[in-house]
């Protein structure tokens, strides 16, 4: 009889907890939430764990320029005041 292995869901992180995510960028998928459609980005971090996070306009734009498989470092720098949109999260994205 074969042994079963549990299929685990991805670990969604929030930027209030994670300030830096570093690892191999796996890409993004569009998902529909109660608020509408949004991109969910995934990164394989040290130890092979995969973390995922919802995109913001800024993250979607920056990560859209990074090819899956690249090493990335994403830094949440905090919230900045935008003129018309209120507050928005600010990020720095690095890749190699």
Q: Where are the domains of the chain?
A: 11-95
User: Which residues lie closer than 8 Å to 54 by C-beta, 6 or more apart?
Assistant: 12, 38, 39, 40, 41
**CATH class for domain 11-95?**
mainly beta
Nearest to 25 by CA among 1, 53, 58, 3: 53
Q: What is the pLDDT of residue 84?
A: 75
Predicted TM-score (pTM) of this structure: 0.83
Check whether 1 has a pLDDT greater than 70: no
pLDDT in tens, 24-79: 999 999 999 888 899 999 999 999 899 999 999 899 999 999 999 999 999 999 87
- pLDDT in the model for residue 83: 66
If residue 88 lies in a helix (H) or strand (E), which one and from where to where? strand 86-95
């Amino acid at each position: 009889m074969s042994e079963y292995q549990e299929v685990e869901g991805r670990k969604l992180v929030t930027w209030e907890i994670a300030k830096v995510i570093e690892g191999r960028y796996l890409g993004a998928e569009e998902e529909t939430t109660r608020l509408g459609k949004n991109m969910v980005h995934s990164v394989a971090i040290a130890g092979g764990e995969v973390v995922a996070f919802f995109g913001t306009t800024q993250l979607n734009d920056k990560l859209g320029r990074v090819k899956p498989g690249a090493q990335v470092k994403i830094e949440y720098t905090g919230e900045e005041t935008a003129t018309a949109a209120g507050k928005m999260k600010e990020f720095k994205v690095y890749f190699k």
